[in-house]
Structure 1
Amino acid sequence: MIDIINHKNLPQWAKDYLRYIQIPVREPSLPYLTEVCTAHLKRIPFENISTLLQFDEYHQKGRLIQDEKKFVRQLYQYQMGGTCYMINSSLHQLLKQLGFQCRYTFLGGGHVALLVQLPNENEEMYVDPGNGAPFFEPVKLESDPMNRSQFGGIEVQLRPMDEPGTYKYYRYVDGKLLNHMIWSFDTRKNYQFDDFQPAIQKYFQPNGFFTSDLRCQIWQLEQNRSLSLVNNMLSIRYSNGEVEKRELADLYDIRSVVNNEFGLPKLPVEDAIEALEKRGVNIFKNNNN
């Protein structure tokens, strides 16, 4: 093992990134990639608070800049992660620094994930911590073509399509297929971050899926559960499939849950709720969960 503090080849942002997810530097390998993916899901929330706070800035600039240094700063300052565009693009930069071959893939015209190849191996693996689904481990698309990633009633399947190199993503919740999350993708295509700007423009539209609600999710594997907050509804899903739902009465309740259940006391939920209110969204009346 290489001590993270003394590893001079890594830029400071990458050292800070690894320190935040509590992972040391190791040689690239499948176990190490799995370790990074699992730690990422456990430590970094999938949330749209950062989206709500950057809404006006995005519309002033007209584009989203991939910025792993900003991403790491926000981890420490605000405990913010983001959604797929910022989480997976920042992880993309980290994995390259750690010696993995890594590139983007694009699902359904709106979701960004990663394809990672180990040194001296030909097969690429699907990696996706920037998703609310339980991808705790890399998925071997070729040698495990009917992969199922599951946790407590949430299941994702990646199935090969007829054309070689093409796949389809299916997500089930408690046995029900979510039709709006059936996504096809083609691993033969290569992408740069700017290729996603048209999709990002749709993402930042007013009254969109991630711009009209408050959302935060994290996986707490030590407690055998995942937490999901949508507006003022907290859902606690356990590994045995049991789901506990709790309606939160006011801002004090939300702050308490984010502090004590999520363990994210720096997360600026009050600012995000205020941003929604300025656009006419009352999360205590408009809960769509």
Structure 2
Amino acid sequence: MSHDMVDAWLSRLVLSSDLPVTLESLTKITRAHLDRIPFENLTVFCGDVPDISLDALEEKILRQRRGGYCVELNPLLCAGLRALGFDARLRMARVLWQRDAPGPRSHCLCLVRIGGDEYLVDVGFGGPGPTAPLLLGSDGPDLRIAPRDGLGTVLSRQVGRGDWRDLYAFTDEMTTMSDVQAGNWLAATLPGSLFTRTLIVTRHSGDTRLVLDGTTFRRFADGRAPEAETLQTPDAVRSCLQDAFGIDPLPGLEDALIRKGLF
């Protein structure tokens, strides 16, 4: 990542360039990513496969101020972390969330080593993903990460008292950009892929998580009941993208919404 791109990345995150290589800095960067850069699949929903080269990510996410999904957001994060001196690397995972069987290796995440500890950092899983670095092998109040025979390391979330749901599984097998490209192609073209079927946009805003799922816009705030609104027209979807997520919709969005039966 060039110096200019690092500056543009930190500017998008509203962070300074003098961040030390510490867990506190990693936590600030993770949270800023989730707050400032939306998870969104507009490119795939409108029928294209995203270009995930670093130059393309710079143009789309940093210059056009768009968002992206895991194979865009986590490689950008990983490149930025490396530029700041962090020991960061990408890994591919099999999605388990809301699936009867493990999916293909289509999810991209980031592992970061600080001292003798290793952390999972993921700014590209959308709503149920972690919102801070998670120490491998640890248990939190609502997330846990642990090895499991036949799958590798599994990240799980508590969705109710005593009810844990698996999010994804990964191994420490080396990941190259060709692996990430393959995951991108699968997510964008595999028949039945969620990303081709419906619009998904999420971001955090302080203690509130904003989610656009198809034509339903929801707000999840700590300590309050979720709020939901059904968007009645394509124009309402466009306004939601601009007002809640800061995204200028793609020219083909209205056609895609109608073609895929959302209106």
After TM superposition, the structure 1 = structure 2 runs for residues 49-198 of structure 1, keeping only pairs within 5 Å, are 49-53=42-46, 55-56=47-48, 58=49, 66-108=52-94, 109-118=105-114, 121-132=115-126, 133-142=128-137, 145-148=138-141, 155-161=142-148, 166-174=152-160, 181-187=166-172, 189-198=173-182
Q: Deviations over 1:21-43 (max 9, x none)?
A: 10111221111111100000000
Q: 1:21 aligns with which of 5, 8, 13?
A: 13
Question: 1:201–1:81: structure 2 CA closer, same or farther, 3 Å change rule?
Answer: same
Q: Provide the secondary structure at the position in 2 that maps to 1:261.
A: helix
Distance in 2 (alpha carbons) for counterparts of 1:175 and 1:71: 39
Query: Of residues 232, 239, 257 in structure 2, which corresponds to 1:249?
Result: 232
Note the C-alpha offset of 1:172.
4.2
- Count residues with an aligned counterpart: 250
Q: Which residue of 2 aligns with 1:214?
A: 199
Q: Distance in 1 between matches of 2:58 and 2:162?
A: 36
Provide the rounded CA distance (Å) in 2 between the counterparts of 1:232 and 1:139.
32
Measured after TM superposition, the shift of residue 81 of structure 1 is 1.4
Measure the CA separation in 2 of the matches of 1:252 and 1:166: 44
Deviation string, structure 1 residues 34-56 (Cα, Å, up to 9, x no partner): 11000000000001013234x44
Q: Does 1:273 align with 2:257?
A: no
Q: Percent identity?
A: 22
* Residue type at the aligned position of 1:217: T
Q: Summarize the Cα distance change of 1:50–1:169 in structure 2 as closer, same or farther, 3 Å threshold.
A: same
- Partner-residue secondary structure (3-state), 1:210: helix
**Cα distance, 1:239 vs structure 2:** 1.0
Aligned-residue CA RMSD in angstroms? 2.6
Instruction: Note if contact 1:75-1:81 (Cα within 8 Å) is conserved in structure 2.
Output: yes
Higher gyration radius (CA): 1
Cα distance change of structure 1 residues 168 and 81 upon mapping to structure 2, 3 Å threshold: same
* 8 Å Cα contact 2:61/2:68 also seen in 1: no
Aligned match of 2:98: none
Letter aligned with residue 11 of structure 2: R
Against the structure 1 CA distance between its residues 275 and 84, is the aligned structure 2 distance closer, same or farther, given a 3 Å change threshold? same
Given that 2:52 and 2:181 are in contact with CA atoms closer than 8 Å, whether structure 1 keeps it comes out as: no
Q: Which residue of 1 aligns with 2:30?
A: 37
Contact 2:218–2:226 under 8 Å retained in 1: yes
Partner letter of residue 177 of structure 2?
Answer: F
Change (3 A) 1:77 1:13: closer
CA drift of 1:276 comes to: 4.7
Query: Structure 2: any 5+ residue segments left out of the alignment?
Result: 95-104
Relative contact order, higher structure (CA 8 A, sep 6+): 2
Mean Cα deviation higher: 93-102 or 192-201: 192-201
Contact 1:235–1:243 (8 Å) recurs in 2: yes
Compared with structure 1, are the counterparts of its residues 197 and 46 closer, same or farther at alpha carbon in structure 2 (3 Å cutoff)? same
Deviations, residues 207-228 of structure 1 (Å, cap 9, x unaligned): 421011111101111xx21110
2:187 counterpart of 1:200: no
Aligned to 2:99: none
Letter in 2 for 1:111: H
The aligned amino acid for 1:41 is: L
TM-score, length-normalised on structure 1?
0.77
TM-score normalised per structure 2: 0.84
Cα deviation, residue 66, structure 1:
3.5
Alpha carbons 1:50, 1:80 under 8 Å: kept: no
In structure 2, C-alpha distance between the alignment counterparts of 1:176 and 1:69, rounded to whole Å:
44
